[in-house]
A = this chain, B = another copy of it.
Amino acid sequence: MTAAPVMHERLLADFAAGRTPALARAISIVENHRPGFEQLLATWHPMLGRARRIGLTGPPGAGKSTLTTALARAYRKAGLTVGIVAVDPTSPFTGGALLGDRIRMEDIALDPGVYIRSLATRGSLGGLSAATRETCDVLDAFGMDRILIETVGVGQSELDVARTADTSLVVLVPESGDSIQTLKAGVMEIADVFTVNKSDRPGADRLRNEIEIMLGMRGGSAMRNVPAHHGVDLSRNNLVKQVRAAARAEDADVWTPPVLGTVGVQEQGIDELVEALDRHFRYLERSGTLRQRRRARLRERVVEVVEDKARRRLWNDAATIAWLEARLPALESGQDTPFGIADALLSRSADLLTRTTT
């Protein structure tokens, strides 16, 4: 344990020199919250913000992996370095799917200007969005120009992950047309750019029209300026109100999400997609939205770190666990309740929770 700081000095030097093995090791340390991970992230914190973070979300089978690969190739051609974070909430029943997707990425995986990392669920240990944010921070500090965050479309966790990006690309397929009415509000709200992938299939044009109509109906443009999906969850009402007021006060610089068509496997429409993503980033910078979003991301990051620290301080403390175990019989017999015990546990934990260690 005492050797850890020394090892990290070496790691920091290799990392600063742009050595990929150091990047890989850094992500592993951070992902698994190994000793010293906080110091590493704190060291790199002032270097963040260079990379553009682009999230790709959409239903399973929409071709997100193929599109991620195509985007990475396009960025490489333009001389940019690319980090790819493939977020897999590891369905225990579909463990095989991702592997197939990875194989398609093989050619770019051999490119030293590309770094690919798969992230699996970290259980209750802080969640996928925290792990995603931390991994992206490491890639950003390493100097990657673009970070592509690809999620395997499943539920709320996907929206949480999407919120960690600067730009959210929603990937649909013509077959999504049947369920377009059921796209939850969350999807429409996070989408900065849409693409109908596999656009050579029937129904692509109709779907593109439908999305555009939905965007129009929702009066989306007036709202696009507002990062309503970024904010501290439990107290955001108040904050969101402030941010909205600030946004309204500005001359409304309007972003209407474009609806593109792509055929990922044939690399069709990729240039237009890259252009739309660049255009969105310019909008983010020009309108001040980039700063708002990144500030919201930092706020959420602090909330995550606070909760993670509190959890670790409590549940890694042997005396607390022993205290809890001793109360289980009263809980079983119904003499005490989880709420009473929780209050008592927090009452006795003031020192534990507030002492400044990890």
A162, closest chain B residue (CB)? B92
A282-319: which have CB < 8 Å to B? 291, 294-295, 298-299, 301-307, 309-312, 314-316, 318
Q: Oligomeric state, in number of copies? A: 2
Q: In this assembly, does A341 line the interface, its C-beta being within 8 Å of a C-beta of chain B? A: yes
Interface pair B312/A121, CB less than 8 Å apart: no
- On whether the beta carbons of B123 and A233 are closer than 8 Å, the reply is yes
Give per-residue flags for A4-39: 1 if the beta carbon is below 8 A from chain B beta carbons, else 0: 000000000000000000000000000000000010
- A343 in the interface (beta carbon within 8 A): yes
Within A87-111, the residues touching B (CB, 8 Å) are 89-96
Give every chain B residue within 8 A of A303 (Cβ-Cβ).
315
Give the residue name and chain of the B residue nearest to A356 (CB). B343
Query: A59 on the interface (CB 8 Å rule)?
Result: yes
Do B93 and A339 have beta carbons less than 8 Å apart? no
CA distance A60 to B60 in the complex (A): 12
Chosen A-B contacts, 26 in total, with CB atoms closer than 8 Å, are: A42-B337, A45-B334, A46-B335, A60-B93, A89-B157, A90-B156, A91-B154, A92-B159, A93-B183, A96-B178, A123-B233, A232-B321, A233-B315, A234-B315, A235-B315, A235-B321, A295-B332, A298-B328, A302-B331, A303-B315, A305-B338, A306-B342, A310-B346, A343-B356, A346-B354, A349-B354
Is B294 in contact with A332, judged by CB distance below 8 angstroms? yes
A340 at the interface (CB under 8 A from B): yes
Nearest CB in chain B: distance from A129 CB, A: 9
Alpha-carbon gap, A291 to B186, bound state (A): 41
With CB as the reference atom, state the residue of chain B lying closest to A128.
B156
Is A302 a contact partner of B153 (Cβ separation < 8 A)?
no
Known: A93-B59, A182-B96. A324 touches B299 (CB 8 A): yes
What are the nearest 5 A-B pairs in CB distance?
A: A46-B334, A234-B315, A95-B182, A59-B93, A305-B342
Q: Check A239 for interface membership: any CB of B closer than 8 A.
A: yes
Chain B residues whose CB sits within 8 angstroms of the CB of A155 once the complex forms? 89-92, 121, 154, 157
Is A184 an interface residue when CB atoms closer than 8 A count as contact?
Answer: yes
Contacts of A315 in B (CB 8 A): 232-235, 303
**Of the residues B59, B306, B331, contact of A314 by C-beta under 8 Å:** B306
Measured in the bound complex, the distance between the Cα atoms of B313 and A350 in whole Å is: 13
Given A95-B183, A95-B184, A295-B332, are A324 and B302 also a contact pair (CB < 8 Å)? yes
| Complex contact B302–A342 (CB within 8 A) | yes
Q: Are B321 and A238 in contact (CB under 8 A)?
A: yes
Min CB distance, A99 to chain B, in Å?
9
A348–B306 alpha-carbon span in the complex (Å): 12
Quick check: A298 and B123 within 8 Å, CB to CB? no
Cross-interface CB contact of A338 among B238, B298, B340, cutoff 8 Å: B298
Contact yes or no, B179 A346, CB < 8 A:
no
Q: Is A2 an interface residue (CB 8 A)?
A: no
Contact A176–B306 (Cβ < 8 Å): no
Residue contact A154 to B338, C-beta cutoff 8 Å:
no
- Tell which of A47, A58, A158, A356 has the most Cβ of chain B within 10 Å: A356
Nearest CB of chain B from residue A70's CB, rounded to whole Å:
21
- Cβ–Cβ < 8 Å partners of A89 in chain B: 154-157
The reply to whether B93 and A124 form a contact with Cβ atoms under 8 Å apart is no
> Across the interface, do B305 and A179 meet the contact criterion of CB distance under 8 Å?
no
Most buried by B among A38, A41, A94: A94
